[in-house]
A = this chain, B = another copy of it.
């Protein structure tokens, strides 16, 4: 690989002039600049990014911390982040934590070490104090999707409470009275909020909350499948089910069909997230759509603002951006 000195030698100037010429600074005569350009082209020269980063104290790289890239929603977020990043000349490092806090810490330790200018975090949990600590050190961070409103993080998310409330309200307005709910991991606020929305919709419409209709998530593989089967096989079956995310809705769909009930004629099923797959099911799933791609892109924009503010020594006021969700009505609800 050729370096700046090789170019300088070939063009018959000093390295500093090459640097100035190629980064379009003033103070270089047109004739010299052209000569340098040609020399650089001839040597197939491109500046060493590592050296530049060291000198400039900025890598133009950011990291995206994801719980799992196989989780359907995260590739969409990642897409948005990446496209926006490319537009801004920023590279993205993908960090997959597999929901494992040890791995997350490992990554963050690396990131602190001048790896990246900032980080977008989708792995926030109530106990993620190491992330708070990093933020307190002045490290630029934007949360996406999973956030906790109360602690002054910069974040992009949706109003899970409102969206769930609206969706369940829709079910009730269409005549459903016994609505089961499949919960997600109780650790995550997004699921707690969706559950709160569910309860609020019941209250709004004068329906009683029934603990027997709540399916808790154990995380185990077929657990939800059997719970749904049990719920719909014995006693008075619910006339609808609200799954707090689409994968759960898909499992529920299968379980309900497998006990001999029809969707939507006997039971309506409502999902959350609108993953690509949900439109391809039989029947296609009614669900709440989140603008994941746009959330990723916005998170990237905000992160860049933070980085620039930090560089310029200006203050930056973090805020939470709540994006609009949309209830996508398909064929799984009647």
Task: Please give the residue numbers on chain A whose beta carbons come within 8 Å of chain B beta carbons, in ascending order.
Answer: 1, 46-51, 53-54, 59, 61, 69-70, 75-76, 78-79, 82, 86, 91-96, 103, 106, 109-110, 112-115, 250, 254, 257, 276-277, 280-282
Contact = CB atoms under 8 A, between A and B. Distances in A.
A93 B112 CA distance: 17
Nearest to A277: B277
Contact of A75 (B70, B113, B276): B70
Given A78-B69, A86-B103, A113-B46, A93 B91 contact: yes
Nearest to A85: B96
A257 B277 contact: no
Contact of A112 (B46, B69, B106): B46
A288 to B, nearest CB: 20
A96 B82 contact: yes
Contacts of A95: 91
A48 B86 contact: no
Contact of A110 (B1, B49, B82, B282): B49
Contacts of A51: 54, 114
16 contacts: A49-B115, A50-B50, A50-B53, A50-B59, A50-B115, A69-B82, A75-B75, A79-B96, A82-B96, A86-B103, A93-B94, A94-B94, A257-B282, A277-B280, A280-B281, A281-B281
A92 B91 contact: no
Contact of A114 (B50, B114, B115): B50
A92 B257 CA distance: 42
Contact of A50 (B46, B54, B254): B54
Contacts of A114: 1, 48-51
A98 to B, nearest CB: 8
A42 B193 CA distance: 40
B76 A70 contact: yes
Contacts of A96: 78-79, 82
Contacts of A92: 93-94
- Listed from nearest, the 6 A-B pairs whose CB atoms lie closest are A94-B94, A46-B113, A69-B75, A49-B113, A48-B114, A50-B54
B48 A113 contact: yes
Contacts of A280: 250, 254, 277, 281
A110 B59 CA distance: 12
Contacts of A86: 103, 106
A100 to B, nearest CB: 10
A96 B94 CA distance: 11
A322 to B, nearest CB: 24
A85 B53 CA distance: 23
Nearest to A61: B93
A49 B59 CA distance: 11
Nearest to A91: B93
Nearest to A109: B46
